[in-house]
Amino acid sequence: MSSKSRKWKFRLKHILKAISSVATYTTGHTYESFIRDEKTVDAVILKLAVVGEAARHIPPEIQLRHPEIPWRKMQGLRNVIVHEYDRVNLEVIWNVVQQDLPPLVPLLMDVYTSEAGE
């Protein structure tokens, strides 16, 4: 495995770890309790930024082979969080956490295992 290959696989692991952390942070929360818990909101937003930043470092050829992963959306959310932080919509964040992240885990695991030779 080349050094370049290992680097993107580490980024994939960072995405998976960040998603796991978000799930841990939000377990037991409702939307209403989530938006009242500033520390949890901050932690979740940070982890979503990590997801998007790590996604930026997945090589284009890997992204093209796995169009089932919303690479651009992951990066786009990071850009909003980092550059337009005053426009972050907590309802959108909650929906990402509840609806978009859980199905990503098996897809990302498939990318990791299917690209073993990269």
Convert the pLDDT of each residue in 10-37 to its tens digit.
Answer: 999 999 999 999 999 999 999 999 999 9
CA distances from 118 to 53, 55, 69 (A): 21, 17, 18
**Is the pLDDT score of 83 beyond 80?**
yes
Share of the chain above pLDDT 90, in %: 81
Share of the chain above pLDDT 70, in %: 92
Residue 5: per-residue pLDDT: 54
Residues present in the chain in total: 118
**Is the pLDDT score of 3 beyond 50?**
no
